[in-house]
Amino acid sequence: APTARLDGVTVEAMHTVIHGRELLAGAMRDVAFGAAVVFGSGGTLVEVLRDRAIALPPLNEVIVQDLVDRTRAAKLLGPLRGNPPADRAAVEAVLLAVSQLVCDLPEVMELDINPLVASERGVMAVDARVSISPPPEGAGRYSHLAIEPYPEDLESHEQLSDGTAVEIRAIRPEDADAEQDFVRRLSPRSRTFRFRNALQELSSEMLVRFTQIDYRREMALVAVLEDGSQVGVARYVVAPDQRSAEFAIVISDELQGKGLGTLMLRRLSDVARLRGLTRIFGEVQQQNITMLELARDLGFVVGPVAGDPAIVRVEKRLD
């Protein structure tokens, strides 16, 4: 603070760590991409070495490992001149913590932990600096992030009409194998109703697009059994008007007629409304009588699609 009164300073010896490697960990704010996590070589030569890599939060273990590997500092963490390797897991834990910090606190504009000393016994932050600023008035919780974090608040446990226990939650990138297996287990009729053709499995491009989503612009809820198998997916994609969204839903054949479709479409509509959308719509094949009945039961208006008598449009206002 400019008007602060300084009564003195404390001087102490620089902490030294045997076999220590000096690293840099922190965060910055990019004009275009928002908050970013930074990692690289640290110490007094940080500006000379210019060894750093950047990743957009939220980070997970895979992204953190890639972040570290993209720096020359990664080699310093291994065996060095007869010294034991540093505790890389501890370094990665720090980066995950920094990611969580900047996700939760939009006030953090800059964070420099330099040096972050790593050895075989763990890590120690010898010096740190943080710069804060109030977020803009009216900014959303995650407006400072380019990628919205995983919405843990959407997780719930439900019971179907036959007693089957399912977990409803947002999809995650690591659900790719379960998503592929789910599609393979669908009957040709169910696959045709969902994808308009009886494809046998998802292409690698479709799998990435379906599981690695931007939660700000789309949502995908999955129903998962206790054994981890996926038995239902309901998703929407926000339309260009930013006020409406197109949805799609598919339920495994063995659980159709047990209330899962109703549960998931109702939950998906609630999520869309809570995120400021005012309308949700979808296109259903005329032969998909079960889906049309479900839509009507939940208050959707059913109407024709111009130029395609085989397709019906279902729509519901959320406000």
Q: How confident is residue 15, by pLDDT bands cut at 50, 70 and 90?
A: low
- What token pair was written down for 218? 């789309």
SS3 17: coil
Q: What is the mean pLDDT of residues 282-292?
A: 96
If residue 249 lies in a helix (H) or strand (E), which one and from where to where? Answer: strand 244-251
**For the domain with range 152-317, which CATH number is right: 3.10.20.310, 3.40.50.300, 3.40.630.30, 3.40.50.970?**
3.40.630.30
Task: Note whether 1 and 17 are within 8 A (CB).
Answer: no
Q: How confident is residue 194, by pLDDT bands cut at 50, 70 and 90?
A: very high
pLDDT of residue 198: 76
69 — phi, psi (to 5°)? -65, -20
Q: What percent of the chain has pLDDT over 70?
A: 98
CATH topology agreement for domains 21-132 and 152-317: no
> In whole angstroms, what is the distance from residue 249 CA to residue 265 CA?
7
- Per-residue burial over 145-163, b = 16 or more CB atoms within 10 Å of its CB, e = otherwise: bebbbbeeebeeeeebeee
Tens-digit pLDDT profile for residues 33-91: 999 999 999 988 788 888 999 999 999 898 999 999 999 999 999 987 888 999 999 99
Per-residue DSSP letter, 8: -
Q: Where are the domains of the chain?
A: 21-132, 152-317
Tens-digit pLDDT profile for residues 218-252: 999 999 999 999 999 999 999 999 999 999 999 99
Helix axes 176-185, 204-211, angle to 10 degrees: 120
Tens-digit pLDDT profile for residues 129-146: 999 999 888 788 889 999
Check pLDDT > 80 for residue 19: no
Q: How many CA atoms lie within 13 A of 63 on its CB side?
A: 15
Q: What is the mean pLDDT of residues 149-166?
A: 95
Check pLDDT > 90 for residue 118: yes
Check pLDDT > 80 for residue 14: no
Superfamily of domain 21-132: ATP-grasp fold, B domain (3.30.470.20)
- What token pair was written down for 258? 């047990």
- What token pair was written down for 204? 């690698």
Helix axes 88-104, 61-69, angle to 10 degrees: 120
Residues belonging to the chain:
319
30 — phi, psi (to 5°)? -95, 140
Which residue, among 187, 279, 175, has the nearest Cα to 223 in the 3D structure? 175
